[in-house]
Structure 1
Amino acid sequence: MKQQLGRVVVITGAAGGIGRALVDLFATGGDTVVAVDLPDSGVLEMARHLEYPHLCLECDVSREEDILSLYSRIEERFLHIDVLVNNAAVGPDLVATSNTHVEDFQLALRVNLVGPNIMARETARRMKPGGVIANVASVAGLLANPHRNAYAASKAGLIAITKVLACEWAPRGIRVCAVAPGYVRTPMIAELERAGKIRSAQVRSRIPMGRMARPDEVARAVRFMVSVQAAYITGSTLVVDGGLMSFNQPGEAHPTVDNSRDAEPPRRVEGTHARIAVVICGAKGIGAAVVRRFAERGDTVVIVDKNGEAAADLASSLGDKHLAISADVTRESEVVALFDELRQCYGHIDILVNCAAPKGAFVLSIEDVSQVFERGLSVNLTGAFTCAREAIKVMRPGSVILNLGACADFLRPASRHTADAYNAAIEMLTRCMAAELGPFGVRTATIVPGHIRTLGVTHWSKFMSRWVARQIPMGRLGEPEEVADAAYFLASADASYITGSILNVDGGLTSNFGPSCVSKSDLTGNRLCDDDRTKLRIPGKSSTLGRKVRTAAFFDGTSP
C-alpha cells in the first residue's frame, strides 16, 4: 500500500559526507528520506538507524536503466516525490589534462551531469506543484583551476541545466535550484589529502574564513533552498565557500592554520540572547518586511529611515524593545552619528541589512542619464558603503552584513543604467568585504530581488502587471516577505559558511534567456497581442515604448 508521510525527499550520494549530513538533516526534520547510493557504498546499512518509513536503495546514476528501476521501486512505496537532491558525484582526480583518459572524462560527465538530468526528469514526472529539485554543484563549476577537467566542466553544466529546467518547469510549479560548495571536509577531500594531491593548510589559507566547510553547512543551505521560505527562488545558485571565490590576490586570505587539525569547528548554535539587527531604509517595503521577520524571531531591531515618523510607527507596532532612528544615509556625518549612538546604546551590533537599493530610473536616452546615474549611486551605493564601514567598527565575530540589490529590469538594455551599475558594484563590494572581513569572523552577502510587490508597483495598470508577470518564469511578482526570509536565513547560523555570495530571489527572471515573454498568455489566460505591446506605457510617461523618451522619471521597483 502506497503511503505519503510528510515530504518525500530523494537524496543521491547519500552514503558520502554531504549525503549523510543531508539524510540526517531531512530525516530529523520530519521528512521521509529515500537514500540512494552506489552498490556496496554502505547505503543499505544506513537503514539500521533510519528505520521505517525511510527507504535506502542502491543505484548507479551513471546508468539510465538503473535510474528507471530506482523510480519503479520508489513508486511502489510513495504516491509522489516532493524533493530531489542531486548530490551524487565523481570528484576531481587532479590529473593533468594530457594524462586524462577519455573513459574517465566520460564517466564524470555521466555521473555529475547526465545522471542528475535524468534523475530530475524522472522526479519531475512524479512531482506535484510545490516540488523542488536541488542540484549540489561546486565552486569548480564557477571558478577555473588546473587539473579539474571533467569535474569542473560537469559542474558548470549542472549549474546551466539548473537555470534551463527552472524556466521550463516553473509553469508547472516546480522549482529548480543549486548549491555550489567550496572545499568541504568530506571523505573525498580526505582521500585527496592522503594521496598528497592537496594540502589542507594551504587550502585553508586561501579561504577568507580560514577553514573548510563542515558537511552539515552545505546540507543546511540545501535545506533552505528547498524550503517554503525559498518559494520565490528558482534557477539560482547559492555559493557556500567561506569566501573562496571572493579572494583574488597573491598571499594568504587567512593566516595559515595548523595542518595537524583533522576536523573543522563544531556548528555554532544560535545564542539565547537577542541579536541587534540594524535595517537601513526599514520603514516600508522590503525593508519593513525584513524588520518584521527579525523582530518576530526575537531579535532587537533598529529601524533606520529618512522618514523618521514612519520608522517610529513601525517600531511601536512591534514592541517596546525596538528602536527607530531618522537618518539620511547620503550624509556621512549622519551615518557616523548613527553608529556612535548604537555603540553607546548596545555596545555592538550583530546584523546590518542595507535595504537602500536604488529606484529604477526610466531613462531611454544615454544623453539624459548623468543626473539620474549620479543621484542613484550617491543615495544607494555610497550610502551602503558608509553604513557598512561604520557598522564594522561595532561588530564582533559572528556578525553579518547583508546588502540588497536593485530590482530586476524588464525594459533592457537602455533604461536601467543606474540599477545595473549598482547591482554590479554592490555585489563586488560584498565580495571585497568578504575577503577582508573573513579572518575577523564577519560574513557578507547580497540579495538581488526580482519584481517585488511593494507600494511602488501599485500604480501599474492591470495590463502592465500582467505583462511584467509574464517575463517571470514563475508567473508572478514576489512578496517582500520572501526577500525577508532570504535575509533571515543568510544572517542565521545555518548560513555559517556563506560569505561573499549573491542570492537571486526573482522567480527565475535572471535565468530566463529565452524570448522576452515566458508564455503567449497572461496570468488570466488572455493572449497578449502585438497591439497590446505597443500600448504599453511607462509609468509617469505619455509616450509609448516605441518612441525615444528624453525625460526621466523614478519608479521604485523594490522598496517604495
Structure 2
Amino acid sequence: MRTVVVTGSASGIGRATRDLLRSRGDRVIGVDVHDADVVADLSTTDGRARLVERVRELGDGRLDAVVANAGLAHESPATVAVDFFGAVATLDGLRDLLTGSTAPRAAATASMAVLLGADDELVERCLAGDEPAALERAEHLVTSGRGGMLYPSAKKALCRWVRRHAATPEWAGAGIPLNAIAPGIVRTPMVADLIATPEQRDAMAQAVPMPLNGYMDPEVPARLLAWLVDEENSHLCGQVVFVDGGSDVVLRGDTTC
C-alpha cells in the first residue's frame, strides 16, 4: 500500500484524486483548509509548516508520493501565496520523506491558463523565492485592474519551477519523477461562477477552446495525476502535461517548446 499526500483534497480535482487513489488501495493523507486529515492554510508560512509537521507524523516519517494540487483563482494575492509558494513549500517540505520509498513520485497541478498571458515581473519574483515582493506585485496588479493575471502568472511560475528542479540531484538524482499537469476547464466549484450562463460559456470557449469533448469532470485530471504518482511512471521528468481537450493545440499549433 502506497501513502500519498494530496493537497486541496476537500473538493474538485483534489477530492477526485483522493477518492481515486483510495479506491485503488492507496492510503491518502488529505490536506485542505477544512474536511481533511491535515487542516492547514497554505497561504501562510505557519500553515505550510503545519502541513509538513502533521504529514511527517501521520506518515511515520515516510511517503511514496506527493500531489501538490491546492489552488485558488481569486483576484487576490492569496492566489499567488497558495498556487506558487504553497505548492513549492509542499514539494520542498515533503521531499525528504519521499527518499525512503522504493518508488517515490511527485506531481503538481498547474493550468492551461499559462498559455493566456502572465505578468513577467510577478513570475520572476516568484521564481526568485521572494514572497513579500511577489505579493506586493500581486497587490499592485489587483489595484491596477489586472487581478486576472495573478492565476496564470502563479501557475506559469510553478511550471517553470518544476522544469528547473525536476532534473536536479535532489529530484531526478534521488529517483523522484517530478512533473505537473495543466488542465483545461474542469467542472469544479472554483470555476462554477465563470461558466454559469450561456454568455459566460461562449466567452470561455473563445479564450479556452476545448474541441475534444468540451469541459471535463475532475475525475479526468485526477486519473492523470494518479498515473504520474504511480510506480508505472518511471521516466517522465519535468513535463507539464496538458489535459485540456485540445486548447494547447488550438492556441499554439505545432509549437512544442
- TM-score when normalising by structure 2: 0.79
Query: Deviations along 1:368-401, whole A, 9 cap, x unmatched?
Result: xxxxxxxxxxxxxxxxxxxxxxxxxxxxxxxxxx
Residues 176-325 of structure 1 aligned to structure 2 (within 5 Å): 176-194=178-196, 199-204=200-205, 206-248=209-251
Of 48, 57, 64, the match for 1:67: 48
Aligned partners of 1:222 and 1:84: how far apart in 2?
A: 10
Q: Counterparts of 2:173 and 2:210 in 1: how far apart (Å)?
A: 39
Following the alignment from structure 2 to structure 1, what is the Cα–Cα distance between the partners of residues 4 and 199? 34
Q: Is the 8 A contact 1:59 1:66 kept in 2?
A: yes
Query: What is the SS of the residue equivalent to 1:108?
Result: helix
Name the CA distance, whole Å, in 2 between partners of 1:248 and 1:85.
27
- 8 Å contact from structure 1 (residues 13, 36) kept in 2: yes
Counterpart Cα distance in 2 of 1:207 and 1:190: 17
Alignment coverage as a number of residue pairs: 223
In the alignment, does 2:156 pair up with 1:175? no
- 1:419-469 superposed Cα distances (whole Å, 9 cap, x missing partner): xxxxxxxx82xx8xxxxxxxxxxxxxxxxxxxxxxxxxxxxxxxxxxxxxx
Q: Is the 8 A contact 1:112 1:155 kept in 2?
A: yes
For 1:153, give the aligned amino acid. S
**1:210 offset after TM fit, Å?**
4.6
- Superposed, 1:423-434 pairs within 5 Å as 428=254
Shift of 1:193: 3.3
How has the CA–CA distance of structure 1 residues 26 and 210 changed in structure 2, closer, same or farther, with 3 Å as cutoff?
Answer: closer
User: Alpha-carbon deviation of 1:147?
Assistant: 6.1
Give percent identity, aligned residues only.
29
Cα distance between partner residues in 1 of 2:210 and 2:55? 41
Once the two structures are TM-superposed, the CA of residue 84 in structure 1 deviates from its matched residue by: 0.8
Greater relative contact order structure (CA < 8 Å, 6+ sep): 2
2 CA distance for matches of 1:35 and 1:243? 30
Q: Which protein has the larger Cα radius of gyration, Structure 1 or Structure 2?
A: 1
Cα drift, residue 125 of structure 1: 1.7
On the 8 A contact 1:204/1:210 being kept in 2, the answer is: no
Contact 2:65/2:229, CA 8 A, preserved across alignment: yes
Matches within 5 A, 1:344-423: none
Change (3 A) 1:23 1:164: same
Q: Check conservation: 2:38, 2:55, Cα contact below 8 A.
A: no
Match of 1:230, SS state, is coil
State the Cα distance separating 1:204 from its structure 2 match. Answer: 4.7
Q: Secondary structure, in 3 states, of the residue corresponding to 1:126?
A: helix
**What CA distance in whole angstroms lies between the structure 2 residues aligned with 1:198 and 1:159?**
31
SS of equivalent residue, structure 1 residue 245: helix
The separation in 1 between residues aligned to 2:223 and 2:200, in whole angstroms, is 26
Shift of 1:203: 3.4
Match of 1:124 among 95, 102, 107: 95
Can you list the C-alpha shifts for 1:455-491, whole angstroms capped at 9, x where unaligned?
xxxxxxxxxxxxxxxxxxxxxxxxxxxxxxxxxxxxx
TM-score of the superposition, structure 1-length normalised? Answer: 0.37
Shift of 1:245: 2.1
Cα displacement (A) at 1:198:
6.7
Q: 1:150 to 1:248 in 2, by over 3 A?
A: closer
**Corresponding residue for 2:138?**
none
CA deviation map 1:235-258 (0-9, x unaligned): 011000000122259xxxxxxxxx
Structure 1 contact 11–19 (Cα < 8 Å) conserved: yes
Question: Structure 1's 16 and 197: CA in aligned 2 closer, same or farther, altered over 3 A?
Answer: farther
Work out which of the residue numbers 7, 11, 33 in structure 1 matches 2:6: 11
Is contact 1:135-1:179 (8 Å) kept?
A: yes
Which protein is richer in helix relative to its size?
Answer: 2
C-alpha distance in 1, partners of 2:29/2:250?
Answer: 38
